[in-house]
Amino acid sequence: MEKRINILETEPEAKKAFYGLAGYIDKTALTKTHQELIKIRVSQINGCAFCIDMHTKEAMKHGETTQRIVLLNAWKEVNDLYTKEERVILALTEAVTLISQEGIPSDLYKEASETFDPNYLSQIIVAIIGINSWNRIAISGLFQPAE
């Protein structure tokens, strides 16, 4: 495997900033379920094996089921497995992660703002941005899943 730079090792101030954002997200009102669904789905979209592995394990520690994790990349096809709130979060997760494709559709934003209060919605978006950043660090550095 090709050896690449590990930004977290070479840039301690950047590491501190990224961990600061992660610490903020952990202290928000976002449920662990919502946090882990966001982290796994973003990591699936971005193809970050390291993060998929880590966050799948974390989600299971917090009580997430294998079925919901395995079917997460097909959440739109499964009617009763995810709550209305989770479906809105997953749709928003995809829109923000793939923002260059069509932005955030107005109907999705309207649904999200009707489903969540402004603070919770803001926290969801920050969580999506945060894991997208972590994915880019891990993919750039070719981080490998833990054994």
pLDDT of 1 above 80? no
pLDDT of 2 above 90? no
- Helices (H), ranges, the chain: 7-10, 12-27, 32-46, 49-61, 66-70, 84-97, 99-102, 106-115, 118-140
For the chain, the average pLDDT equals 95
pLDDT of 86 above 80? yes
Walk me through the domains of the chain, giving residue ranges and CATH numbers.
20-140 (1.20.1290.10)
Q: How many residues does the chain have?
A: 147
pLDDT of 60 above 70? yes
| pLDDT at site 147 | 60
- pTM here is 0.94
> Residues with Cβ < 8 Å from 90, sequence gap 6 or more?
37, 41, 72, 75, 82
